[in-house]
Structure 1
């Protein structure tokens, strides 16, 4: 047990329907080898909740449903998590941890190891503090920023080969001024290379018992490039653009395959390796290309709730959250009623469907096709007229959406080889991990141990143990009131807009 370690490799949004054709063509050799040496299958995301990564990754890390862990959206922080996450169990045993990019790890705290917060971090802090520059890599501003961020990484473990790529791409941006879709994925590939170098350097320095490497790259390119992967599902995709960008998503997965090989070189046969995604990806043709889409920030301004409400969009639905229980429009129910009463000025037909989903939460979606809305105006209950184009988006923004099934792969001591897992939920990842490293599973966890992926002899000699609650054992406070701060909110909003979740 002393030599056993755990490594989580998290590929946000990774999708089997993209992976499988590449496997058949032999283009993901390291993932194929991993599958032969371990167990793999689809990983069901959460039904009845927004397929938003902070919610999903927190459920995976805790084995608990959202109503237990308390996370609502991209604007929450680590302070809002109301239950123990997997690494805290190991910290309680005085074991070292290393977290690189896992969502909701800001603000970081001192630990025996390192914590590099995720792209939702509001400020650059890390632990240890000298790695604060890493967060600036998420900005993707211009070639000068790309170059300066890369050079700062040199003294912390970035390889010369990665530095050369960084310089090459910076020069390319300066000289040729590429279009957004040409630079969008290339900048992120540079960022990925730097992140992998830094993570490997940190692994070697701290030798953590439990470590996590996260990248949001699959999800980011799904949103922007899916129409070029499956142009037949979308109207009027220009053929030259299909030829230019049709290989972007496969290229990203091929790069992730090489990342996998690099990270696995840092492990031993005694390392339990878990590869997972929080959801999958699919074409967004129905929602994005037919139905009108709410322009989130303008919509909030039209409600006169700027600063009092946050929003993000997944598919057709916009998820709204009041930051205070009292607003100029009244309670949550009164805000919902106000939105329901918004109508077309010409016909007095209602525009929005609204569902109140919590004490301060609701979902909103339009009930009209885009072609029915051009030139219209909306009338709000207070009599204001607003052009429809101000609060609704009538042109496509993203072409890839989230799907319900992600990926799960396990390899390590006592994991079955070449085994296909069926019926797995992201809630099952932590219970299964705990069982494989000889720890008790919390009875208050909502997931189960995936015994079909574990060697029978191990279960015979090490039957699954249980504990009532790690929250109780570690003294986790579950009813504290979280202060809602504006600190860094604009930074988070800019990153969400870049990914297509708002505006």
Structure 2
């Protein structure tokens, strides 16, 4: 049968075109340069603006070709509710196999030919094949537990280690984990923080898994998602360029985080090099960021923006009098999702949380969708000493229920994104005009000679056509 060249999409969330150019110019990103200098290089532009400029909105656009006004999803973990076909659904319908590794707000509209590892905030999407559950369960617990100060069960960690041992865990990654733990201890002795670098270790673990399944199954289409550098930009752009912010980081914060953003780009540069090496010269390699970031200066006159989260989610809900909870899990930053058995229970939970207050203002922002609540703390400025939380039958110190997440918001979203497409054997070109983000999905299908799905409104980009290769039937 005739088969297209494999397509590998690196989904590096929210990398900034401006920072990319800066670090490329400084010679810090040789593998990114290698990819860009062999690619059709575009800048994409998302249609949406605040409050709909969010990665879980725009990644759904990348995968489905639908903008927010069409898909209607505004929250993380809700992508599975969209029944329109994604790129991998269309490919499955035509007999192509995919390996979807961590793509944000993913879902399935057709039986998938291949494998899918959901992002850690999408518990409603099951990993396929089921062997991937060991990885998904561990990473989800680590991401959510790290954010709330919790630990991980030893049994889950052992299951994860056994899984990775059989799915590509490399000696360099093991050495990197050990070095990270040592660095954290040494930093702690000096009163500094090095734990933020764990996000890069997780990237490397996921790349080991991605490589293992890619080499084993040789899928026609694959995606690899990373959020680490986006996180660094959100919380540490202030440390990268303190001169741009009114609220200056402390000396201790600078000692810990001054190099965080640059470190993220450099670690992603290594990932790019590894992917280019194991995919070889025959693969079409795509870098897509969906959107980007810029310095967040809009809260500086207010002293900066901070976030708070319940210390222990179940205990917090119990203290607030929220009953009938089936499941509760953190989402992103201050937000968390609660699932109930029925809509009456969810409505009562909404009333209880909405009644909470601190300092004469509402404590929570809560939205109900059917039997679920999406909630988060509405306080985004430093809470004064002695602040209390009041509610129905409740009057307790603020710090007894909630804690402040580390850092202060420093990066905010920007609609521009990077799109580099390396087509083997074709001359590279930098395209000066911006292109609409909803054209990415049709373009990816065009690499296989397939027309867009009916719900994909954007026109595919005009690219040099990759050659085709012959494989045995």
Q: Settle same-fold status: TM greater than 0.5.
A: yes
Inter-partner Cα distance in structure 2 for 1:60 and 1:108: 15
Aligned to 2:258: 246
Give yes or no for contact 1:432–1:449 (8 Å, CA) kept in 2: yes
Once the two structures are superposed, the pairs formed by residues 30-41 of structure 1 within 5 Å of their partners are 30-41=31-42
Give yes or no for contact 2:60–2:106 (8 Å, CA) kept in 1: no
Aligned to 1:401: 411
Cα 1:183–1:351 shift into 2, 3 Å = closer
Aligned to 1:449: 460
Cα 1:328–1:384 shift into 2, 3 Å = farther
Cα 1:386–1:411 shift into 2, 3 Å = same
Once the two structures are superposed, the pairs formed by residues 186-265 of structure 1 within 5 Å of their partners are 187-232=198-243, 233-265=245-277
Aligned to 2:87: 86
Q: Secondary structure, in 3 states, of the residue corresponding to 1:2?
A: strand
1:193-236 Cα offsets, whole Å, 9 max, x none, are 22212211211110100111111111222234322212221524
Aligned residues, how many?
A: 442
Bigger relative contact order (CA 8 A; separation at least 6): 2
Q: Secondary structure, in 3 states, of the residue corresponding to 1:7?
A: strand
Q: Secondary structure, in 3 states, of the residue corresponding to 1:42?
A: strand
Q: TM-score by structure 1 length?
A: 0.70
1:30-49 Cα offsets, whole Å, 9 max, x none, are 21232222222333333254
Tell which deviates more after alignment, 26-35 or 359-368. Answer: 359-368
Inter-partner Cα distance in structure 2 for 1:445 and 1:229: 39
Whether 1:182 and 2:233 are equivalent positions in the alignment is no
Q: Secondary structure, in 3 states, of the residue corresponding to 1:409?
A: strand
CA positional deviation for 1:369: 6.5
Tell which deviates more after alignment, 134-143 or 297-306. Answer: 297-306
Q: Which runs of 5+ in 2 are unaligned?
A: 467-473
Q: Secondary structure, in 3 states, of the residue corresponding to 1:195?
A: helix
Whether 1:420 and 2:422 are equivalent positions in the alignment is no
Cα 1:137–1:300 shift into 2, 3 Å = closer
Aligned to 2:470: none
Once the two structures are superposed, the pairs formed by residues 88-487 of structure 1 within 5 Å of their partners are 88-105=89-106, 111-122=112-123, 126-135=127-136, 136-137=138-139, 139=142, 149=160, 152-170=163-181, 181-185=193-197, 187-232=198-243, 233-287=245-299, 290=303, 295=308, 297=310, 307=325, 326=344, 345=360, 397-404=407-414, 405-412=416-423, 417-451=428-462, 454-455=463-464
Tell which deviates more after alignment, 44-53 or 229-238. Answer: 44-53
Aligned to 1:501: none
Q: Secondary structure, in 3 states, of the residue corresponding to 2:194?
A: helix
C-alpha RMSD over aligned residues:
4.6
Inter-partner Cα distance in structure 1 for 2:399 and 2:183: 36
Give yes or no for contact 2:121–2:331 (8 Å, CA) kept in 1: no
Cα 1:196–1:438 shift into 2, 3 Å = same
Inter-partner Cα distance in structure 2 for 1:183 and 1:368: 24
Of 69, 72, 75, which aligns to 1:73?
A: 75
CA positional deviation for 1:8: 0.8
